Structure 1
């Protein structure tokens, strides 16, 4: 008699350490067993350094594994594979979690599956939303990509040519000294709701690609000159920045929809939680007679469950990462992965 397959997923590519446990029934139905997470939060005006972030992950990872097993109500013997983020991400945090994954693999005698971080986001989104074959907007602190699936690859149709949209928002939050708790992007989103004056910023769409570094430099100059003069507020700047960045993302996503003939858009990644981005994208998609798919903060923000989901799909199609290949890489493109689990 066929039985369920269970994966434990470990994510630690940035400032969040997450452990998730996913179960796939013989019918193929996926069931969430556990999804626990801790976030490394720094004081206002500061980012998170790789060394300190890795230390945070090392401090919490074992207790999170125990908490996930307890929440799922299972024992290590019931786990079929251990999945971990192989990249992309910050080197020290990635490595700190991979070491624990290797250790558990040896202790429990379980196979390892190295997962691409972006693929994790995509497959988590597909599972939660039931989107069939959407154009994917992947927006996070470290990545900005417009993606569509074809012939066993997630192809990148457009991307940032410098910094990611989440990184742009995070760095602006530091410029205006917004708190990092619960996240800089969330605090910008809330401040933007109180903004009333739109300040024109550079609009940097280059074909299917986007550029954010020049916008960040420009708005920093405005902040330094106009905030002290009282001609605008932090809320106005947050509002203006969001409207400009998100308009650029909507434009490139719409162009990808037209190119591939899709009527679906799915937003994944931490910035995908932003309600204004969802609203703007939703209006565009509705005008094209399509449907927008998005998830809430449980699943769009980095989490171990997404690594378990993608890893389990890989594992069930015969993919296992040998111990000598469980190194991590800060650069691991989405389109490098052969998608063996989709037609």
Structure 2
């Protein structure tokens, strides 16, 4: 756990606070400014983002992603300050993503955050990326004490809060759900703009698509996705697979497998597994609320399936749209400002990054 020192005294609650958040753990570079008012209201002053998009069939490499962040970060920073109507010197603290994520992009953004902190003599707070997702979603949705399903390109976790810690009840044993979707999108040649997962979701909505058999791998509270990915990739080598077929409502040939069939089947199988382990966690902690966070949380089909389960339990699903689900700077600002109000600050020598910074390593001092 990273060392922190206390700012003395605690930040007075009757003072408005501005936080600048910098996020760059993967291919999204985001900078946002959040204000906490004395009456407890959270105001999003700006939320600016730029995405590194690669050609179809290609993923994003750490070195190239870091170069993208270095090229764009000053423009994104200036735009965020312009939208918010403030300068860097006006904020009370600077927050950056400490991890988890890709090493080179994380370091590029952390260097800028550290430089701004030194130039403007502002306290700096290293933020856990996963906790950032949870905290901004709690503000937006007003969820009280939900079970959290965190689904993104690099993480798949079922989380619940207990005793000042976000505890992980279940997670992926190999690859994350977002990584699974992205890799399959590359296999079938789907574009990366705006995102591979979004394009899979749209193709899965096509009329006439059918379900093909895939392995269903839940391991208690955990899931395994690598085998599902291998199985669905095998379908693309089947002689029945027609990658160029334009699927419509008149397609009735059961011997033909289309990209829409595979996209639909992958979503249905993987999302059913996620709903199952989330329901187990709800039963364990006796919660009737589910909060879906992370980039894959934008998927309408996942929200729909989770909603059916929650409704059967007399509960409710909370989710946000792409402004808040997809990696952004305001989630880092929100988590950082909560820590700052509790008197926390990252020591300068600890303003490093780590690719493996688990959600349950963070002391959540701002929750009772």
Q: TM-score per shorter chain, which class?
A: over 0.9
Q: Quick check: 1:190 aligned with 2:202?
A: yes
1:59 alignment partner, one of 71, 77, 80: 71
Alignment of 1:6-21 (within 5 A): 6-21=18-33
Q: Quick check: 1:5 aligned with 2:17?
A: yes
Residue 196 of structure 1 deviates from its aligned partner by: 1.6
Alignment of 1:289-328 (within 5 A): 289-328=314-353
**In 1, Cα distance between the equivalents of 2:349 and 2:88?**
23
**In 2, Cα distance between the equivalents of 1:223 and 1:325?**
47
1:117 alignment partner, one of 106, 124, 129: 129
Q: Secondary structure at the match of 1:179?
A: coil
**In 1, Cα distance between the equivalents of 2:123 and 2:237?**
53
- Runs of 4+ in structure 1 deviating by more than 6 angstroms, as ranges, are none
Residue 76 of structure 1 deviates from its aligned partner by: 2.2
Q: Quick check: 1:93 aligned with 2:105?
A: yes
Q: Secondary structure at the match of 2:182?
A: helix
Q: Quick check: 1:203 aligned with 2:203?
A: no
Match of 1:45 in 2: 57
Q: Secondary structure at the match of 1:295?
A: coil
**In 2, Cα distance between the equivalents of 1:299 and 1:200?**
34
Q: Quick check: 1:175 aligned with 2:187?
A: yes
Residue 228 of structure 1 deviates from its aligned partner by: 4.5
Greater shift in the superposed pair: 110-119 or 191-200: 191-200
**What does the per-residue CA deviation read over 1:34-87, in whole Å, with 9 as the maximum and x for residues that have no partner?**
000000000000000000000000001111111111100112222000000000
Q: Quick check: 1:256 aligned with 2:268?
A: no
**In 2, Cα distance between the equivalents of 1:3 and 1:69?**
21
2:88 alignment partner, one of 76, 99, 106: 76
Unaligned 5+ runs, structure 1: none
Match of 1:215 in 2: 228
**What does the per-residue CA deviation read over 1:144-181, in whole Å, with 9 as the maximum and x for residues that have no partner?**
00000000000000000000000000000000000000
Q: Secondary structure at the match of 2:310?
A: helix
Q: Secondary structure at the match of 1:285?
A: helix
Aligned residues: CA RMSD = 1.0
Match of 1:33 in 2: 45
**What does the per-residue CA deviation read over 1:119-144, in whole Å, with 9 as the maximum and x for residues that have no partner?**
00000100000000000000000000
Count residues with an aligned counterpart: 343
Indicate the structure with greater helix content: 1
Q: Is the 8 A contact 2:242 2:258 kept in 1?
A: no
Q: Secondary structure at the match of 2:345?
A: coil
Q: Is the 8 A contact 2:242 2:259 kept in 1?
A: no
Q: Quick check: 1:330 aligned with 2:340?
A: no
Which of the pair has more CA radius of gyration? 2
Unaligned 5+ runs, structure 2: 1-11, 244-254
